Amino acid sequence: MRRMRWTWAPLGGTVLLLLLFSQAFSAPPQCQLGVPAIKLGVQGVASGPHADYGRQIQMGATMAIEEINAKGGILGCRLEMRFMDDENRPATGVRNARLLVTEYGAHFLYGTDSSGVAMALGPVLKELNRIQFFTHAATHRLTEELVAQQGIKQIVRVSAPVYQDAIAAWVFKDNPAIRRWATIGADYEYGYAVWGLFRETLRKFRPDVEFVGAAWAPFLTTDFTPHISAVMAQNPDAIIATPWAGEAVTLLRQAVLMGVFDKIQVWFQAMGGSVDVLEGIAREVQDGRFKGKLWATARYIHNWPNTQTNRAFVERFQKRWSRLPNYSAETTYSAIYITKAAVEKARSLETDKVLAALRGMQIVTPAGLRVFREEDHQFVYTVPAGRVVWSERYNMPVLGDLRIFDPKDYWRWPPFTPIPMGK
């Protein structure tokens, strides 16, 4: 019996060694940051007419996390995410941020669609000392005032701010036939900022233009006919509109019914290049009811830039979600890769060290090269504006007839001077 045990001993030892070796080669690498996982707190609108943006934020974040985890995480640390609906309400956004940091233990925060929510979050991020990568909220005040002036360093914006919406001034400044502009604006921070910046920019090029009318629609407006009618009473040549998501779709469809496109020369729907808006007006575009007069931009469009990085991203996104990526998906996806690059450089999750690692960062993302601007923690990149046209390739409308400008020209640069804002 004793002899037999000795006979099996070398074999058992060999098996044990093999097992140990296999563990060493197949186990996930140890997290070098000393945490069980890097926790990402994400929030956006997940209900109401703007819900697709929160959903796209969630889809973009999920895809980035899956890709990064499949390749071993960040410095061997797995990524985890918790998503919350901010309901487009500042109070909910603030409550979510506190919960995500204090209860969930989020190391970084992402998302936020509304400028109003973003402005409320700024001081809270300072108190919590957590970096939030903003991936949609667009008011220039978030970065110009809260970061550059007030020094809330925890704010980093990956998406293009309202400078992008004011690209309309650059697209149409050389058209002498368009002199009378009006707005149908979102009745909050974002709408006021776009109208203020657009007017300021256009006045520089065209002292002859007139701003003839403005109508303001609050969130959850379902009947825009009084706004359209009030603005059309001023006989504008062109309209710049800032309601977004489902409200943009409602506005555009009601404008078609009111015969607006028979009368004006251009309608610029600021974030009309967003996938949900393009899907929403697909029938009207296909039937030619905008008469080629509808223009738009976005904070990223899936059909530009024509790079391998972008094409591969769009393909993976479509495969994963059976939808095209909206800008809030791309910006959140890119924000997580920016986090990865910064944390790998800093080899730390500490706010100051990660912020230091962001300095001078230039990173290739699906939207193109993003460059970190240190003065206001804004990533700078290019997004075109274009005419809304039907695409046989995508079987839905896209932005075509693209107009591309250098951000050096149409973005605002420090030192920042206040933009006259308000209704």
Partner 1 sequence: MMNTVLYQGLVGISLAMYLWLISAGLTIIFGVLGVLNFAHGSLFMLGAYIAYTLYGMVGLPFGAAVLLSLAVVGAVGFAMERFFLRPLYHVDEAYQLLLTFGFVLVLDDAVKILWGGVFKIPPIPAFLDGAWRVFGRPFPVYNVFLITVGLLVGVVLWFLFERTWWGRIVRATASDREMAAALGVHVPRVFSSVFVFGAMLAALGGALGTPVRVVAPGIGSAMIIQAFIITVIGGLGNLKGAFVGSLIVGVLSAYGTLFFPVFELFFIFVIMAVVLLVRPQGLFGATR
Closer by beta carbon to partner 1, 185 or else 384? 185
Query: Contact between 91 and partner 1 (CB under 8 A)?
Result: no
Query: Contact between 136 and partner 1 (CB under 8 A)?
Result: no
Query: Contact between 253 and partner 1 (CB under 8 A)?
Result: yes
Query: Contact between 229 and partner 1 (CB under 8 A)?
Result: yes
Query: Contact between 423 and partner 1 (CB under 8 A)?
Result: yes
**Do residues 115 and 189 lie in contact, with contact meaning Cβ atoms separated by under 8 Å?**
yes
Ordered DSSP codes for 313-372? HHHHHHHHHSSPPPHHHHHHHHHHHHHHHHHHHHTS--HHHHHHHHTT-EEEETTEEEEE
Of residues 227, 219, 209, 264, the one with CA closest to residue 244: 219
Piece of 115-123, 220-228, 291-299, 393-401 that binds partner 1 (CB under 8 A):
220-228
In the chain, % helix, strand, coil (3-state, to 5) comes to 45, 20, 35
Q: How far is the CB of 48 from partner 1 (least distance, A)?
A: 4
Query: Contact between 113 and partner 1 (CB under 8 A)?
Result: no
Number of residues in contact with partner 1 under rule CB under 8 A: 40
In 258-324, alpha helices (H): 275-280, 282-286, 308-321
CB burial of 27-41 (b: ≥16 within 10 Å; e: otherwise) equals eeeebebeeebbbbb
Q: How many other CB atoms are found less than 10 A from the CB of residue 17?
A: 10
Query: Contact between 389 and partner 1 (CB under 8 A)?
Result: no
Query: Contact between 274 and partner 1 (CB under 8 A)?
Result: no
Residue of the chain from 72, 226, 400, 418 that contacts partner 1 (CB under 8 A): 226
The Cα-based distances of 186 to 162, 235, 261, 349, 418 in angstroms read: 13, 20, 20, 37, 20
- Rounded to 10 deg, the angle between the 308-321 and 327-346 helix axes is 110
Closer by beta carbon to partner 1, 14 or else 222? 222
Q: How far apart are CA 306 and CA 310, in angstroms?
A: 7
Query: Contact between 216 and partner 1 (CB under 8 A)?
Result: yes
Of 369-388, binders to partner 1 (CB under 8 A) are none
Q: How far apart are CA 62 and CA 312, in angstroms?
A: 16
Query: Contact between 276 and partner 1 (CB under 8 A)?
Result: yes
Q: How far apart are CA 397 and CA 394, in angstroms?
A: 8
Q: How far apart are CA 252 and CA 219, in angstroms?
A: 16
Q: How far is the CB of 199 from partner 1 (least distance, A)?
A: 15
Residue of the chain from 67, 187, 200, 374 that contacts partner 1 (CB under 8 A): 187
Query: Contact between 221 and partner 1 (CB under 8 A)?
Result: yes
Residue spans of beta strands (DSSP E) within 126-176: 132-134, 155-157
Residue of the chain from 249, 324, 343, 357 that contacts partner 1 (CB under 8 A): 249
Q: How far apart are CA 198 and CA 202, in angstroms?
A: 6
Query: Contact between 117 and partner 1 (CB under 8 A)?
Result: no
Residue of the chain from 14, 22, 30, 47 that contacts partner 1 (CB under 8 A): 47
Q: How far is the CB of 80 from partner 1 (least distance, A)?
A: 22
Query: Contact between 148 and partner 1 (CB under 8 A)?
Result: no
Query: Contact between 95 and partner 1 (CB under 8 A)?
Result: no
Q: Which residues bind partner 1 (CB under 8 A)?
A: 46-49, 51-52, 54-55, 187, 214-216, 218-223, 225-227, 229-230, 232-233, 245-247, 249-250, 253-254, 257-259, 262, 276, 280, 283, 423
